[in-house]
A = this chain, B = another copy of it.
């Protein structure tokens, strides 16, 4: 199976590439390296070039992948590309506010033209294509938890719209290519995910907290810290995505939420992190940003019933592994 992963050098993309290689796929990893990084896939490239080994190889735990099965292509999904693949995972898009608001117009283009280009490619080569969508399509939800049928509550002209509306239109395009051209599509709505290879300084709460904690700084809590998030560990998320891609049924084109249902407040997250790190952690309060969603939790009935999926990694365990990654990444071991 030849599989294309756009955004393959990103946080989620690199884990997906590893998983697909482990499953025996030939993987083409496309990335413009705006938020993705070669450090995330260097061990895969090294393996492909031959048994170089070294620290990077060992650090991922001796992943069993064939040397010629991985290829990195520096490419921006805003531009069309012609290649052969049976599966396409379209993950390319900056996903944290600090990155997607850096150049909002480019963010919209990445979502919309990226989806168009990958759908065009899928149509041409008869590939199955999965769009990485997001819980942000629900915006600041007025239904709780969020079912896939919920239409969402999004400000079309706010500072987050470039991401939220960009992803909504990516979904629209997926469905229209499906209805209009019978393209075989999958749509996954990804809720908050954390784990090794989150970018330092991407402004997301888990990486922020861990980096601040490792540096001995007080943790920045926005608002009163009682807003909740549901955090899914990356390997659980990847497993859900792969299950959705494999799922074949009359309803397989419908969006599926993948995320953790255990809601934690920011203050509970601080506390768990304190347990993992074995010390009490100080916090510092700041005002809540504009249009920041105050509550978000997936209804995962579809994932459970259709894919037999549910998250398995407890927060404390996932945090332990993530803290370990950041400790190494910041050179603190």
Contact = CB atoms under 8 A, between A and B. Distances in A.
Contact of A151 (B103, B119, B139): B139
Q: How many copies does the complex hold?
A: 2
A182 interface: no
Given A112-B112, A116-B109, A180-B103, A172 B157 contact: yes
Contact of A156 (B104, B152, B155): B152
Contact of A180 (B104, B109, B112, B116): B104
Contact of A176 (B108, B119, B152): B108
Given A165-B168, A168-B156, A169-B169, A105 B176 contact: yes
Contacts of A234: none
Contacts of A154: 151-152
- Which secondary structure dominates chain A's binding surface? helix
Interface string A149-192: 00111111101011001101101111111011100000100000
Contacts of A175: 157, 161
Contacts of A161: 168, 171-172, 175-176
A188 to B, nearest CB: 13
Given A156-B151, A169-B165, A177 B105 contact: yes
Nearest to A291: B151
Q: How large is the interface on A (under 10, 10 to 19, 20 to 34, 35 or more residues)?
A: 35 or more
B180 A157 contact: no
B157 A171 contact: yes
A156 B176 contact: no
B156 A172 contact: yes
Nearest to A159: B179
A8 interface: no
A232 B300 CA distance: 44
Contacts of A139: 151
B151 A151 contact: no
14 contacts: A104-B180, A108-B112, A108-B169, A139-B151, A151-B154, A152-B154, A156-B171, A157-B171, A157-B172, A161-B168, A161-B171, A162-B172, A166-B169, A169-B169
